[in-house]
Structure 1
Amino acid sequence: MKPRTAFLPAALCLALLAAPGARADDAVVVPKLVPLPAHMVRKPGGFTVTADTPVRAADGPALRHVGAQFKAMLGERLPLMLDLAKDGSRGNNIEFALDATRKWSAPDAYSIDIDERGVRVYAGDAKGLYYGAVTLAQLLTSGDAGGASVRLPALHIDDAPRFGWRGFMLDSARHFQSVDEIKRLLDAMAQLKLDVFHWHLTDDQGWRFPVPGWPKLTTVGSCRLPAGDGGIDAATGKPAPYCGFYTEAQIREVVAYAAERHIDVVPEVDIPGHATAAIAAYPQLGVSGEPVAVSNEWGVNVNLFNADETTMRFLEDVLTQVAKLFPGKFVHIGGDEAVKDQWKASPKMQARIRELGVDGEEGLQAWMVARLERALAAHGKRLLGWDEILMGELPPSATVMSWRGIEGGIDAAKKGHDVVMAPSDVLYLDYLQTHSPDEPPGRPATIELHQVYGFEPVPKALDAQQAKHILGVQANVWTEHMRNFARVQHAYFPRIAALAEVAWSPKAERDYAGFLQRLPAMLPRWKAQGLAVATTPFQPQIDAGTPLADGSAEVAVQQPLGYALRYTTDGSAPTAASPLYFASLALPLPATLTVQTFFDDRPLGAPATRTFSAASLLTRSDEELAMCTDQLMLRLEDDGPRLGDRAIFNVDIFNPCWTWKRAPLAGIGAIEVRAGRIPYFFQLAHDEPHRTFKPAKTAHGELELHAGCDGPLLATLPMPEKPNADGFVTLRAPLHDAPADADLCLWFTGDTRPAMWVLDRVTLQPK
């Protein structure tokens, strides 16, 4: 390949580096960088980094600090003993330097030059120099670990981010994470050049930081009793509260740790809704003044702060504490899902509306927002809120985070407000990320990797001037269903890498196929950081199989990211020489199918194995069934035990009904159903009327089976009062005159509150 010295698009440069016609003397590590740099050009030659290569960063403490951070980034994965040289001659080294003579486009910008003389990383600011170190660390870990040296290609990189706000939100109110766990997330953010950590610290289910003068916020507001058996200590049989809050010292520790990695921490205190924990601590803050408990239910709670003067002074005390603990520019005041029913029904709040002369309940929230904006401005802070704050008159300096789609962001930008794009339909990472039955509990719908990668933060509806108000983009994780840190990590990784590229790389350079070629290099980097990355995007998904007329089974396999699949049918592990999977397979029964994802002829993730028999083809788990309607499907777990594994169920909480599409009912004499029972722990506010259920005919409801959801009744059985000791009940219903091939619909009658039956498994039994 003829060497090029002109700038190339970064994606094309990567393709050229990987091309089979590359020069033999350039046996270099192919750069697998995430996010993709803005500009990168390949030059002839390269440089070999060895254990003797010094790191030169001697001109001041800031440079030496970056040099030390660079060494830490390499960790133990790269066996290079790089020493920070206090001085040394130029050449044959890795050099970090600040260049004040050049006009840099942003504090994040940097340049890297690699040639036969060594590696030079330049920037105009410590932040840019740090990001240069991140890129260089990725260059050095783009290939296989284990060698004594790494041959880098000769490159010139000029890089700067597309957006200044590259955000990542963690909800610590619903479930609590330790300081060490948060630090691991901050490390991962820094590795991807994300620079805003939005920390959700208060909600209906918990208040997570102290405020002087208001001690019950943490002694009362930080604890709840989980619903059902999830709040019972098995050893004592007594309720075991779920508690947690961060001390001032711990918050400062997190803020300092983030700052070391050039990450701003944006705290969120939700006002006026999502306020139950605070009202439980101090009932006078609520509308009724009556005691309430910290909520142990998910969804939209109707409790609001009142707008009394004493409550406003409380909120100003809270924001004063926030301003003291968090030195960043922005403070998030929530503002979302503030159902106004209590304000509408309260004579006191109606009198307050008249006293202030505002326009109804939305005007009252707008008045609160404006007052809190002034309080924050007095501390040198800017107010940020969810897009519901646009429903009233908004102070000009307020910034809007658009979560209910992009429309709020468009409206805000056209009105002159700065905007952070965080739409729930593509950037809420607590949504399931694949259709695998191995996905942990999560919120409705599925947001796959390609959806995150394909999001465009600047809407076409904005003109060039309005588009300047788009500060950036952010992914959010709400932790209702994440009672351990492994689930938090599962939600973020690998989708957070797609977000990083959306936030950093030029729009014209983004290419999903190229991203998938670079993504596998992130897996060992994350592993070196001790992160538990989701395995489901990389694993093969083998379906349950369909019986064929000749007695064999038709089996299909999917790979969520489209990587190559190889398989065996003899029980052995697939290798690079095993057959490639292209289409569904017809397997004689009994059969064992083992499938492995491959990338660059190497295994990626763990293999998947499934055994098929005539009996297995007649069984489906709830994950393998469809919902009868698509209203609000959740993947929910049982309420116990308090610690350890729990059963997981797919259920539409608005219509708990399951369907087996084209169930093979010919020759079937009975159906066996295994069901569990879980608490109904949801607050739906104005969505409550959408919850439907079939009336019960017996004391505890029935299991009904129909041929088609609107079709004839095939069988019905009364349900018991409660499940067995293991949490399940197994029911067997005989079938008479069932159609040979129909959609089999199953539902449980009766009100779903306070507990609901959920399907676990269906088995068809031949006559």
Structure 2
Amino acid sequence: MRSNIFFKCIIFLCFIGCIKPQPPIRPHIIPIPNEFTLQEGIFILDKDVLLHADAELQSVADFFNNYLKEKLGYSLKIHSKPTTKAILFKLDETIENEEGYELLVDTSQIIIKAKTAKGAFYAMQTFRQLVPPIIESDQVSIRNLDIKDAPRFTYRGMHLDVSRHLFSVDFIKKYIDMMAFLKMNTFHWHLTDDQGWRIEIKQYPELQKVAAFRDETLIGHYNDAPQKFDGKKYGGFYTQEQVKDIVKYASERQITVIPEIEMPGHSQAAIAAYPKLGCTGEPTKVATKWGVFEDIYCPKEETFTFLENVLDEVMPLFPGKYIHIGGDEAPKTRWKACEHCQALIKKEDLKDEHGLQSYFIARMEKYINTKGKSIIGWDEILEGGLAPNATVMSWRGTKSAVEAAKAGHNVIMTPTSHTYFDYYQTDNEDEPLAIGGYLPLEKVYGFNPIPNELTQEEAKYVLGAQGNLWTEYISTSEKAEYMVFPRMIAMAEINWSNPRKRDYQDFTYRLSHFHKWLDALDVNYANHLYEIEGNIGKENEQLVLGLETVIKDKTIRYTTDESSPNLDSEKYTKYLPIEGSTVFKAAVFDEKEKLGRDFTLVFNNHKAVGKVIAIDPKPHKAYAGSGKEGLINGVSGNDSRYGDKEWLGFWGRDVTIKIDLGKPTKITSISTRFYNASGQWIYAPKEIGFSFVNDEDGRTLNRISQISVDDSILIPFTLEIEEVTTQFIEIHIPTYGTIPDGLQGAGNKTWTFIDEIVVR
């Protein structure tokens, strides 16, 4: 019996001795490093590897060792002067960038060099991507390589709104973990708004009892008519101890947390708790729907005392440099009717209510500066004059960023067109409900945070960019992850990597491998890599449809009979000719199965398709769609994504459209439709004008038609005319004007969004 046991032990030991290290993977690093060279050979990571760190980098080395223990089941032995196989963290003062690093892997050692702990930490994040997401052995092979890397921008941020919907401490830590993995360094925590106050302030207990809870929550979209509510009380807040825990957790991962305490607008929740903070003094309630509300802080001494006391509790919790004070979307209705506000305008010799807002912000900035901190505000803080030391977070486009940078103020780029991750990320109809808009991954990746209008010297004021997640329509952590990933990954590479190194095709290839990491980390992400884009154009005067997908090593198959494509469907190899109204369906396949979802394009032929069109002015660069030809390409825009390539957007400008039909043509109707969403500052026009020359008698015919606008998101319009023969059609579309008081974006210019112009 004993000899049998002995024999089994020998067999087992032989088996253990034959186990091979998990083979190396080819690195597909995100964000892409500045310098990256693969070398011959491998380094084997196992229990015999020693760890050494210079004193200044010891905290990162300890963090690294704890990570290895979680990943491999063991930590490395610390050695002061290892002479055998080792991982070394070395301080290197010659590295110029404070966050830069060098990572060298050869057969005998791994050397991480950095000037600071931050650089060493980012080297560790790169190292993580050199091993498989799931490790199935206690020995791992790592390819020999040399990497020299440093970030492009000093501010690499992600935002999370917890006022509209509250998220657990565990989820916020997971959010921070993913930011750290992607080498992001700033977490913008939006803590207060009209719909809820989310941070404990001990001096003002009503903020926890009243301001932190709303009676019910809007169901569906803000633009739905009629609006519906769930009738359920909702809310909560983070204790100061929880805040300290999150800030410490972030700091250990080289992330600074910036709190946002909104003022003077988006303050109805606080006013609900303490009505005297408002101009009327009348009771109000925490907002139960989304939008902008007229109850804002009144600029009186009682209000400033309240805000200073609040900040006195907030600022010690956040050791970073910045406090975000909001400053956006503050309707002036209450101030205009307030005797105190009007008297203060006269006393301080202010121009108007915008000047009063500047006074408000400047006063709060001065107080915050006395505490050794600086303010960040949304770009409305420019109105009425910018506070002296403020940093501007530019969200309404790039114009405010240019203005601030030229005036010598630091800028953080967060334009809605490229950084708002609460927008739809595909035009598929089965996407979860979102606020609106359309921001696909490729558009995020194509964002350049440096506006073209800035000189090289002025560009130095651009600190970086930030992705924003507003959560009106995001009530769960799973949906938050779906909306953020993979767009956060694209934002990380924008902020970190040299633009000359970035290529979208290469990025999507690396992202397809990074999906394995998201799976391993249990992140719920949107996978649109296998979706198809269709483009209508001309080839030898023939209308054609081109199909493409970002992953090039797969097959596209299509149908034209409205059926879903399968492995037996026609293979796409070149442009498809378009002969008339057709429904095209297509999908991406490998050898065995369909990948991703069906692409559908409904082509409706009409008399203007493919003709010559001119538009004045040009569409706004953020919403230029597929260009002017997109208005007469036979394809209508999505019913819920005004930012897709079929909708054209214009901001605050009248629009004139001229269509040349190429020859005298009989027409009987002209139709189009407009997007209408006040929550996004989009308003259908009140009227539309037409003119065309009747080629039969030479008369110019003019029509001005009123548009029937209701609460619908889509406003259709059709001009029925007696049959007329004409070659030229001119359409004049006046802008709605200025957003009225009391509505979201009050006082700002409106957007006009135009869909396909159909001529029959």
Report deviation, 1:304. Answer: 1.2
Report deviation, 1:325. Answer: 1.2
Map of 1:306 onto structure 2? 298
Aligned length: 596
Map of 2:632 onto structure 1? none
Q: 2:501 aligns with which of 505, 509, 517?
A: 509
Q: Considering only aligned residues, what root-mean-square deviation do their CA atoms show, in Å?
A: 4.2
- Kept after mapping to 1: 8 A contact 2:73/2:138: no
Map of 2:193 onto structure 1? 203
Write the mapping of 1:485-634 to structure 2, written as runs, cut at 5 A: 485-535=477-527, 537-540=528-531, 559=549, 564-565=554-555, 595=587, 607-608=596-597
Paired AA for residue 121 in structure 2: Y
Secondary structure of residue in 2 paired with 1:410 = helix
Map of 1:451 onto structure 2? 443
The verdict on how the C-alpha distance between 1:196 and 1:529 changes in structure 2, with shifts beyond 3 A counting, is same
- Kept after mapping to 1: 8 A contact 2:157/2:465: yes
Secondary structure of residue in 2 paired with 1:47 = strand
Q: Does 1:125 align with 2:116?
A: yes
- Kept after mapping to 2: 8 A contact 1:74/1:137: no
Counterpart-to-counterpart distance in 1, 2:547 and 2:278: 53
Map of 2:165 onto structure 1? 175
Paired AA for residue 319 in structure 1: L
Secondary structure of residue in 2 paired with 1:103 = coil
Map of 1:188 onto structure 2? 178
Report deviation, 1:66. Answer: 2.8
Paired AA for residue 376 in structure 2: L
Deviations 1:222-252 (A, max 9, x none): 111234679xxxxxx9942011211101111
- Kept after mapping to 2: 8 A contact 1:566/1:574: no
The verdict on how the C-alpha distance between 1:92 and 1:508 changes in structure 2, with shifts beyond 3 A counting, is farther
- Kept after mapping to 2: 8 A contact 1:353/1:360: yes
- Kept after mapping to 1: 8 A contact 2:191/2:260: yes
Counterpart-to-counterpart distance in 2, 1:564 and 1:308: 65
Counterpart-to-counterpart distance in 1, 2:59 and 2:217: 52
- Kept after mapping to 1: 8 A contact 2:210/2:272: yes
Report deviation, 1:377. Answer: 1.2
Q: Does 1:226 align with 2:216?
A: yes
Paired AA for residue 402 in structure 1: S
Secondary structure of residue in 2 paired with 1:460 = coil
Deviations 1:515-561 (A, max 9, x none): 112111211112222211113x1354699xxxxxxxxxx99987576
- Kept after mapping to 1: 8 A contact 2:218/2:288: no
Report deviation, 1:705. Answer: 13
The verdict on how the C-alpha distance between 1:184 and 1:711 changes in structure 2, with shifts beyond 3 A counting, is farther
Counterpart-to-counterpart distance in 2, 1:121 and 1:501: 21
The verdict on how the C-alpha distance between 1:272 and 1:610 changes in structure 2, with shifts beyond 3 A counting, is closer
Map of 2:7 onto structure 1? none
The verdict on how the C-alpha distance between 1:399 and 1:608 changes in structure 2, with shifts beyond 3 A counting, is closer
- Kept after mapping to 1: 8 A contact 2:198/2:212: yes
Map of 2:650 onto structure 1? none
Deviations 1:30-55 (A, max 9, x none): 22000011122344x22232434525
Paired AA for residue 249 in structure 2: Y
The verdict on how the C-alpha distance between 1:491 and 1:629 changes in structure 2, with shifts beyond 3 A counting, is closer
Secondary structure of residue in 2 paired with 1:468 = helix
Map of 1:116 onto structure 2? 107
Percent identity between the two aligned chains? 34
Map of 2:98 onto structure 1? 107
Counterpart-to-counterpart distance in 1, 2:269 and 2:98: 40
The verdict on how the C-alpha distance between 1:86 and 1:75 changes in structure 2, with shifts beyond 3 A counting, is closer
Map of 1:338 onto structure 2? 330
Map of 1:57 onto structure 2? 52
- Kept after mapping to 2: 8 A contact 1:494/1:533: yes
Paired AA for residue 111 in structure 1: E
Report deviation, 1:64. Answer: 5.8
Q: Does 1:160 align with 2:150?
A: yes
Map of 1:31 onto structure 2? 27
- Kept after mapping to 2: 8 A contact 1:269/1:334: yes
- Kept after mapping to 1: 8 A contact 2:198/2:236: yes
Counterpart-to-counterpart distance in 1, 2:256 and 2:596: 40
Secondary structure of residue in 2 paired with 1:420 = strand
- Kept after mapping to 1: 8 A contact 2:28/2:513: yes
The verdict on how the C-alpha distance between 1:608 and 1:429 changes in structure 2, with shifts beyond 3 A counting, is closer
- Kept after mapping to 2: 8 A contact 1:184/1:531: no
Map of 2:243 onto structure 1? 251
Report deviation, 1:96. Answer: 3.2
- Kept after mapping to 1: 8 A contact 2:100/2:150: yes
Secondary structure of residue in 1 paired with 2:120 = helix
Counterpart-to-counterpart distance in 2, 1:90 and 1:566: 55
The verdict on how the C-alpha distance between 1:556 and 1:39 changes in structure 2, with shifts beyond 3 A counting, is closer
Deviations 1:739-758 (A, max 9, x none): xxxxxxxxxxxxxxxxxxxx
How does the TM-score come out when normalised to structure 2?
0.70
Secondary structure of residue in 1 paired with 2:326 = coil
Secondary structure of residue in 1 paired with 2:232 = coil
Secondary structure of residue in 1 paired with 2:436 = strand
Paired AA for residue 289 in structure 1: G
Report deviation, 1:350. Answer: 0.8
Paired AA for residue 114 in structure 1: V
Q: 1:69 aligns with which of 50, 64, 70?
A: 64
Counterpart-to-counterpart distance in 2, 1:695 and 1:462: 41
The verdict on how the C-alpha distance between 1:685 and 1:433 changes in structure 2, with shifts beyond 3 A counting, is closer
Paired AA for residue 182 in structure 1: I
Map of 1:551 onto structure 2? none
Secondary structure of residue in 2 paired with 1:158 = strand
Report deviation, 1:444. Answer: 2.2
- Kept after mapping to 2: 8 A contact 1:366/1:389: yes
Report deviation, 1:115. Answer: 1.7
Q: Does 1:271 align with 2:267?
A: no
The verdict on how the C-alpha distance between 1:502 and 1:685 changes in structure 2, with shifts beyond 3 A counting, is closer
Counterpart-to-counterpart distance in 1, 2:165 and 2:707: 30
- Kept after mapping to 1: 8 A contact 2:60/2:121: no
Paired AA for residue 37 in structure 2: V
- Kept after mapping to 2: 8 A contact 1:358/1:364: yes
Counterpart-to-counterpart distance in 1, 2:422 and 2:114: 36
Paired AA for residue 296 in structure 1: T
Report deviation, 1:277. Answer: 0.7
Map of 1:40 onto structure 2? 36
- Kept after mapping to 2: 8 A contact 1:421/1:457: yes
